[in-house]
Amino acid sequence: MIYQVYVRSFLDSTGDGVGDLAGVRAGLPYLKKLGVDGIWLSPFYPSPQHDHGYDVADYCDVDPLFGDLAEFDLLVGAARRLGVKVLLDIVPNHCSSEHPWFREALAASPGSEARARFHFADGRGPDGDEPPNNWHAMFGGPAWSRVTEADGRPGQWYLHMFTPEQPDWNWRDPEVAAEFDRVLRFWLDRGVDGFRIDVAAGLFKHPELPDSDDPEADARTRDSVNPLAWNQPEVHEVWRRWRSICEDYTERDGFERLLVGEVSVPTAREHAQYVRPDELHQAFFFDLLSAPWDPDAFQKVISEAMQDIAGTGSTVTWVLNNHDQVRTVTRYGEPATEGSGLGAARARAAALLMLALPGAAYIYQGEELGLPEVVDLPDDVLTDPIFHRTGSRARIRDGCRVPLPWSGQASPFGFTSGEESAKPWLPQPEYFAEYATDRALADTRSFWHLYRDGLQLRGTLPQLGEGTLRWLDAPPGVLAFARGDDLVCAVNFGTAPTPAPVSGTPLLASGPCPAGVLPGSTAAWWIGNS
Ligand code: GLC
């Protein structure tokens, strides 16, 4: 189980209202107590922060906002002593428009080597003032921006599948591939255990960059569905090479390195291609996260993953929350029924379900506290480029990125140790007091204890290790499956109680669960035969 640390919102050690690497180091004992195997750090590299660090200006350094390389080394050392693995977030699809190579490309002329590292092309139309093709960017607007050439005239266009400040690399240029090999080695030499790979189904575009039949599909769905821009077959070569770099390090020191990809592709079968034995070790399988709170939807997604991914000998990597998605407590609580606690009960049940599934699990900071999405942030504090580029509040990402509450009754809830005037970079609502980590640790009924207990059992019960699952007969509205010979997990998606599939008291349950009964919106684990 890997814990995703969104660095700017985890813990602030300097008092500027932004979390940092020293804050992560200070939080490691807390994470160790929770039972994580490792952490994934969101990007902390030098960046103008147009997309919170997913616009990297220098892949081999630390932004002063988050610390420096010496602090990074301290963090890795401290994590190693605690037995917590460290994964970095690497962003190979695009960089920042402030990356020195992009600046060089802007200053260079059309057709130059410097421009070949990106996708520069002449515009269409008589004056070249129409973009080279009709693609739209994921976060709204055209996927091309026009540059001004050295002579002051409007010139070529460059491709950016996200914001204009995130130019896409041209992976057909061998220098780009070589540069990323160097970046990987730089961090592996510094002791990291692996990488979460941003936009791992990206990198290569159709070589002709042709028009798309449905140019707005990416922006409309906010999913990488343009078949000309994503999931090109050449990308697999990159994962093979990165895997072999990792294996080199393992051969040297015996420690396994881990590559986990953010892979959004249409089907589980295509997904499975990314986790072939010589490619990525893991790839987030987002279908569980996208599934509505419905037993048939969950069963379909899990069955597909087991058949098409686990069935080919690879690991399935489950995830319910991350820094791009509405948090489960809120997502499952919709339509919101004030004070019903339904979303929270379902999120707890989903957590137990995920932790019982074969494969890897990732949790996103605050998930272990049952944090809801902050849905009422005022427009003037929103930072998500999606909001600024589309003007739409629909599916913006600030609400899941609000700094964590650690202690106390009022903001900053121990998040920032600075002056009283130093405000967290996004405002924390008053109700965050209920979710502070100190309260969660003190209350055995908290989300935190559920995750901690679940993780402990997951680490000790052989049934929850490698292997598959067997679906069991269950009443309507209930999903039940067995792991190993005798571990049963059941989830009641409905609101009325049903008979439990196993007699006796459960080993662990997401809510009060008397023997013989599985209450509504509850999951439980039993040892025994159904
Ligand atoms: C990934 C990241 C997201 C970022 C985007 C562009 O989807 O998870 O936060 O905005 O890539 O790098």
Compute the distance between CA of residue 472 and CA of residue 491 in angstroms, rounded to an integer: 12
Burial of 310 (0-12, 13-18, 19+ CB in 10 A): buried
Burial of 33 (0-12, 13-18, 19+ CB in 10 A): exposed
Question: What percentage of the chain has pLDDT greater than the value 70?
Answer: 98
Compute the distance between CA of residue 159 and CA of residue 49 in angstroms, rounded to an integer: 19
Give, in order, the Cα–Cα distances in Å from 124 to each of 80, 152, 220, 351, 397: 54, 19, 24, 51, 35
State the pLDDT at residue 338: 61
Q: C-alpha 82: how far from its chain's center?
A: 23
Compute the distance between CA of residue 431 and CA of residue 418 in angstroms, rounded to an integer: 21
Residues acting as catalytic residues: 198, 262
Q: Which CATH number fits domain 468-527: 2.40.10.10, 2.60.40.1180, 3.40.605.10, 3.30.470.10?
A: 2.60.40.1180
What is the pLDDT averaged over residues 131-152? 95
Tell me the pLDDT band of 71, cut-offs 50, 70 and 90.
Answer: very high
**Cβ of 162 less than 6 Å from ligand 1:** yes
With CA atoms as reference, report the closest residue to 451 among 9, 25, 36, 8: 36
- Across the chain, mean pLDDT equals 95
Compute the distance between CA of residue 433 and CA of residue 68 in angstroms, rounded to an integer: 32
State which ligand 1 atom lies nearest to the alpha carbon of 139.
10
Closest residue CA from atom 4 of ligand 1: 54
CA of residue 214 to ligand 1 center, whole Å: 22
CA of residue 199 to ligand 1 center, whole Å: 7
State the pLDDT at residue 337: 66
Closest residue CA from atom 6 of ligand 1: 54
Compute the distance between CA of residue 37 and CA of residue 43 in angstroms, rounded to an integer: 20
State the pLDDT at residue 392: 85
Residue 122 half-sphere exposure, CB side, CA atoms within 13 Å? Answer: 8
State the pLDDT at residue 222: 83
274: CB partners within 8 A, 6+ apart: 200, 201, 236, 239, 261, 263, 265, 280, 283
Mutate to test the pocket of ligand 1, among 41, 44, 54 (most ligand atoms within 8 A of CB): 54
Q: What is the pLDDT of residues 75-93, one digit of tens each?
A: 999 999 999 999 999 999 9
Closest residue CA from atom 5 of ligand 1: 54
What is the pLDDT averaged over residues 465-470? 93
Q: What is the pLDDT of residues 323-353, one digit of tens each?
A: 999 999 999 997 766 667 999 999 999 999 9
Q: What is the pLDDT of residues 351-366, one digit of tens each?
A: 999 999 999 999 999 9
State the pLDDT at residue 391: 86
What is the pLDDT averaged over residues 58-65? 98
Q: Is the pLDDT of residue 254 over 90?
A: yes
Q: What is the pLDDT of residues 189-210, one digit of tens each?
A: 999 999 999 999 999 999 999 9
State the pLDDT at residue 219: 85
Domain range 100-159, CATH architecture: Alpha-Beta Complex (3.90)
CA of residue 54 to ligand 1 center, whole Å: 6
Q: What is the pLDDT of residues 259-318, one digit of tens each?
A: 999 999 999 999 999 999 999 999 999 999 999 999 999 999 999 999 999 988 899 999
Indicate the domain borders of the chain: 2-93+174-442, 100-159, 468-527
β-bridge partners, 12: 416
Tell me the pLDDT band of 221, cut-offs 50, 70 and 90.
Answer: confident
Question: What percentage of the chain has pLDDT greater than the value 90?
Answer: 92
Superfamily of domain 2-93+174-442: Glycosidases (3.20.20.80)
What is the pLDDT averaged over residues 55-64? 98
Q: Is the pLDDT of residue 420 over 70?
A: no
Closest residue CA from atom 7 of ligand 1: 199
State the pLDDT at residue 265: 95
Look at residue 303 and give its three-state secondary structure. helix
Compute the distance between CA of residue 47 and CA of residue 435 in angstroms, rounded to an integer: 31
Q: What is the pLDDT of residues 376-416, one digit of tens each?
A: 999 999 999 999 998 888 778 999 999 999 999 999 999 99
β-bridge partners, 518: 498
- Does 2-93+174-442 match 100-159 in CATH topology? no
